[in-house]
């Protein structure tokens, strides 16, 4: 529970060291557990969330050995010996920490086994809605229970003998879709998930890469995924860099005058490129050089940003980046509106309320309603960052809130020449950033030194 003081920074130059993608890391670990034999994964996220999934598959019988330490590339390389045939009942609860993705995906995985699994996490996880996975997994034939009538973790699951379902989740959620698909890989018949607003497709992409029997149909914004029972073959794969973390570097480089930063090999597949579209719409100077089918290198130069509207599919495609895009909006000229954003209230914290509080403390004119966040940017540094004060800010123990507020404080350096003393901010529970990006501040300091 450490507080961290963040002061104004300097222009950012050079290559940003971005961690491996968190969503992909969770899934590669799970697929390696399901595969009979040895799989190699390179560039895994070192965040606590992903480490919890690694520990969970070990508790279910997989072994994980380090391959090498590619410290420079910012990720772990591991050799995993998996095999669903050797899965064993976990002796202790699987503790998924702060990770909604970890808990919801593992719920789908353990629903395949006729042994008892108990899934727990931290205080935030125990507040987050679980009926969204309990309902479909129960319909598939698993027995699930939890607090508050089976709607909150801890979840207690005894699975096995599953049958495929045809299911349309009420809210757009890749975690729900993936949980059902992971269960469906061990269910009789066909499992179908219908999304009215398509979400990230990492689970589907893993199935496609590994040649598993999955079909996807896109119609407008909607997506239908069908899958049959299948065995997962072992694999060797690299994790691309995390667009949600790249967004912090991209926004910082856009709003800190005199910056020019390269971000290599970022995943920009369906459902994850929203932040880039929003920043380009705001007038950001970002050159995108395609690298692989779903990856690209970005070159970001500082630019004058203007307000925009983010809603519907674009909001879903930038769901995790709203806190840092809100900081971009605070530094932009004019109004930015995030609409259809109610799911942000069900993340690691109520992110609409957390952004409203944090940015207000910095002197930004910001308002939230049920599913809306409106920010009036003044085209420069927020007023309270120019007062030479120490501003206390709450992270709500949410990694993305702590990192977004840090970037807002760093960018106050734009007025270093005109203001005698700039403010610094003191963020509580700063260690929350370790859930997704241990070394976040160091990565920024390294860019300031170039």
Q: Which residues bind ligand S3P (CB under 6 A)?
A: 23, 101, 173-176, 178, 199-200, 319-320, 343
| Listed residue (285, 337, 280) closest to 312, CA to CA | 337
> What stretches of 239-337 show up as alpha helix (H) in DSSP?
243-255, 274-281, 312-316, 322-331
CB of residue 104 to ligand S3P, shortest distance in Å: 7
Q: How does DSSP assign 32-69, residue by residue? A: HHHSSEEEEEEEE--SHHHHHHHHHHHHTT-EEEEEEE
CB nearer to ligand S3P: pick between 244 and 423:
244
Query: Dihedral angle at the C-alpha atoms of 297, 298, 299, 302, nearest 10 degrees?
Result: -170
Question: What does the block give as tokens for 410?
Answer: 């760093």
CB nearer to ligand S3P: pick between 175 and 191:
175
CB of residue 87 to ligand S3P, shortest distance in Å: 22
Token look-up 């994964």 returns 41
CB of residue 333 to ligand S3P, shortest distance in Å: 29
CB of residue 176 to ligand S3P, shortest distance in Å: 6
CB of residue 327 to ligand S3P, shortest distance in Å: 18
Q: Give buried/exposed letters for 314-328 (b at 16+ CB in 10 A, else e).
A: bbbbbbbbbbbbbbb
Query: Which DSSP helix (H) or strand (E) runs through 338?
Result: strand 333-338
Instruction: Please confirm, yes or no, whether 429 is among the known catalytic residues.
Output: no
Q: Name the packing angle between helices 243-255 and 399-410 (round to 10°).
A: 20
Handedness of CA 18, 23, 26, 28 (dihedral sign): negative
Neighbour count for residue 119 (Cβ, 10 Å) = 25
E strand residue ranges, 231-302: 236-238, 260-267, 285-290, 295-301
Query: Dihedral angle at the C-alpha atoms of 14, 285, 255, 394, nearest 10 degrees?
Result: -90
Among 49, 320, 398, 434, the one annotated catalytic = 320
CB nearer to ligand S3P: pick between 351 and 361:
351
Q: Which distant-in-sequence residues (6+ apart) come within 8 Å of 445 by Cβ?
A: none
CB of residue 169 to ligand S3P, shortest distance in Å: 9
Catalytic residues: 320
């Amino acid at each position: 529970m450490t507080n961290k003081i963040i002061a104004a920074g300097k222009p950012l130059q050079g290559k940003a060291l971005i961690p491996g993608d968190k969503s992909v890391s969770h899934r590669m670990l799970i697929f390696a557990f399901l595969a009979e034999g040895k799989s190699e994964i390179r560039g895994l996220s070192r965040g606590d969330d992903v480490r919890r999934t690694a520990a969970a598959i070990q508790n279910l019988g997989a072994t994980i050995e380090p391959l090498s330490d590619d410290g420079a590339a910012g990720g772990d390389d591991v050799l995993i010996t998996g095999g669903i045939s050797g899965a064993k009942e976990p002796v202790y609860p699987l503790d998924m920490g702060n990770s909604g993705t970890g808990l919801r995906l593992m719920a789908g995985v353990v629903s395949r086994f006729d042994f008892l699994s108990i899934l727990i996490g931290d205080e935030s996880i125990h507040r987050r809605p679980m009926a969204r996975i309990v309902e479909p997994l129960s319909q598939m034939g698993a027995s699930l229970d939890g607090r508050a009538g089976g709607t909150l973790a801890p979840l207690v699951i005894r699975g096995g003998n599953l049958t495929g379902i045809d299911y349309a989740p009420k809210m757009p959620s890749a975690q729900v879709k993936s949980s059902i698909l992971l269960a469906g890989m061990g269910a009789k018949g066909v499992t179908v998930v219908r999304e009215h607003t398509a979400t990230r497709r990492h689970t589907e992409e893993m199935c496609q890469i590994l040649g598993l029997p999955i079909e996807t149909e896109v119609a407008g914004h909607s997506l239908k995924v069908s899958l049959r029972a299948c065995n997962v073959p072992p694999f060797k794969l690299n994790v691309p860099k995390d667009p949600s973390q790249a967004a912090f570097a991209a926004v910082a480089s856009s709003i800190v005058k005199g910056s020019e930063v390269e971000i290599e090999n970022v995943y920009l597949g369906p459902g994850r490129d929203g932040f880039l579209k929003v920043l380009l719409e705001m007038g950001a100077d970002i050159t995108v050089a395609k690298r692989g089918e779903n990856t690209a290198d970005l070159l970001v130069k500082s630019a004058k940003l203007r307000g925009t509207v983010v809603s519907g599919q674009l909001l879903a495609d930038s769901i995790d980046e709203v806190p840092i895009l809100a900081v971009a909006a605070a530094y932009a000229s004019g109004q930015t509106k995030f609409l259809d954003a109610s799911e942000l209230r069900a993340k690691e914290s109520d992110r609409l309320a957390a952004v409203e509080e944090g940015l207000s403390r910095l002197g930004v004119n910001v308002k939230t309603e049920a599913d809306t966040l409106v920010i009036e940017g003044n085209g420069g540094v927020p007023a309270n960052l120019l007062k030479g004060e120490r501003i206390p800010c709450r992270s709500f123990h949410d990694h993305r809130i702590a990192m977004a507020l840090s970037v807002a404080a760093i960018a106050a350096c734009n007025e270093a020449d005109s203001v005698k003393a700039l403010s610094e901010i003191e963020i509580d529970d700063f260690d929350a950033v370790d859930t997704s990006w241990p070394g976040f501040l160091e990565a920024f300091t390294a860019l300031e030194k170039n």
